[in-house]
Amino acid sequence: MSDTENTLLITKDQPMTQPASTISLATQRSRKRRVLPTSSAKFVVGATLVLAIVLFAIIAPMFSQDPRSTDNPALLPPSAEHWLGTTKLGNDMFAQLAIGAQGSLLVGVVAGGIAIVLSLVFGVLAGYLGGWREDALALFTNVMIVIPGLPLVMVIASFVPQRSWQLVAFVLGITSWAGAAYVLRLQTRSLRTRDYVYASKVAGERSFRVILVEIMPNLLPLLTAQFLFAIIFAILGEAGLSYLGLGPNSSITWGTILNDAQSGQALGRGAWWWFVPPGVMIAVLGAGLALINFAIDEVINPKLRAAPDAARRVRKAAKTKGVAA
């Protein structure tokens, strides 16, 4: 048998190796690019803090007395009977802190949900549609950006004598969406020029499905980060409004506790247990949400994820150069 026939037989027996398709390469690249924030220490610490506060808000009210009860002695320091002492009116501080956690978390989540929905409408929709419709939606977004949010909330709240936490959350939500909408609009304008979006349009897919299936999955990390930022802004905004006497007057939140402590002269009376616990809870919750947000930012921006390693390499190079000198 000749060499040519042997070569043909070997070629028939061995399957031909096809070059990797573009889709498989893109899938491999996307799999390598997707890095879950759960591997980040920032995410673990932040999620632990937030989860602990959420569990405290759910479980603690079951084992505490009525937060509005005035049957206790006034201004008792922390003890075995009252873990966080009592207020000027005899309210148990542990019970108020637990119920206040529920109120503050509800305000933050509802306000963040309203803000993210509005930012989706005025951001993603405007970035995808383009043309005069984008200009109209962007004009309204720019107007809302230049309007100061917190003073507007203060003006609105001052004209409403009876304020529930739902009203405060609604007002905070409709005044905090413009910045996120601007970022989402720019990102959506970039995504709408991608090949897979064009392919979906050529295939006859409806705009709603293109946005939901092709664009929204790429915006999920950014949407999560914006939602967490909106929650932080709402909780801090509600605490500031309540401290000024413009917060909910029919509900208990951490902000209303601080307002009661300020009006009851807790600092002058030395009743630190009245204002320190809600302040610490606000700070811990804000720190936990901020750490989660930082971890998500590292997923969105790989430069942030590589920054610590780059800084260590620079320090190591400088140290080696100093030793060599």
Backbone angles phi, psi at 194, to 5 degrees: -75, 155
Asked, for residue 269, whether it belongs to a domain, the answer is yes
Asked, for residue 268, whether it belongs to a domain, the answer is yes
Asked, for residue 39, whether it belongs to a domain, the answer is no
Please give the residue that has the higher pLDDT: either 1 or 48: 48
Q: In the structure encoding, which two tokens stand for residue 130, read together?
A: 């383009």
Q: In the structure encoding, which two tokens stand for residue 260, read together?
A: 């009661």
Query: Residue 206: which region, alpha, beta or left (left: phi > 0; alpha: psi -120 to 50)?
Result: beta
Domain with 288 in it: 45-60+71-299
What's the CA gap between 89 and 244, in Å, rounded? Answer: 20
What's the CA gap between 325 and 321, in Å, rounded? Answer: 6
| Stretch among 2-11, 155-164, 179-188, 269-278 having the lowest mean pLDDT | 2-11
pLDDT for position 53: 96
Asked, for residue 315, whether it belongs to a domain, the answer is no
Mean pLDDT of 89-97: 93
- What angle in degrees, to the nearest 10, is found between the helix axes of 149-158 and 165-174? 150
Please give the residue that has the higher pLDDT: either 173 or 6: 173
Q: How confident is the model at residue 20 (pLDDT cuts 50, 70, 90)?
A: very low
In terms of DSSP H, where are the helices of the chain? 3-13, 22-33, 41-59, 93-119, 125-129, 131-146, 149-158, 165-174, 178-191, 195-202, 207-209, 216-243, 254-263, 266-269, 272-300, 302-324
Backbone angles phi, psi at 242, to 5 degrees: -65, -35
- 8 Å CB contact between 294 and 266: no
CATH code at position 134:
1.10.3720.10
Number of domains in the chain: 1
CA proximity to 146, closest of 138, 135, 136, 155: 138
Asked, for residue 319, whether it belongs to a domain, the answer is no
Asked, for residue 251, whether it belongs to a domain, the answer is yes
pTM: 0.79
Collapse the DSSP code of 244 into the 3-class scheme (helix H, G, I; strand E, B; otherwise coil) and give the result: coil
pLDDT for position 78: 92
Q: In the structure encoding, which two tokens stand for residue 131, read together?
A: 């043309």
Asked, for residue 192, whether it belongs to a domain, the answer is yes
Mean pLDDT of 165-172: 89
Q: In the structure encoding, which two tokens stand for residue 79, read together?
A: 């003890």
pLDDT single digits (tens) 235-278: 999 998 888 888 888 889 999 999 999 998 898 889 999 999 99
Asked, for residue 8, whether it belongs to a domain, the answer is no
Q: What proportion of the chain, given as a percentage, has pLDDT over 70?
A: 82
Q: What is the mean pLDDT of the chain?
A: 82
- 8 Å CB contact between 157 and 92: no
pLDDT single digits (tens) 105-122: 999 999 999 999 999 999
pLDDT for position 231: 93
CA distances in angstroms from 110 to 67, 163, 186, 279, listed in the order given: 23, 15, 25, 21
pLDDT for position 167: 87
Q: What proportion of the chain, given as a percentage, has pLDDT over 90?
A: 40
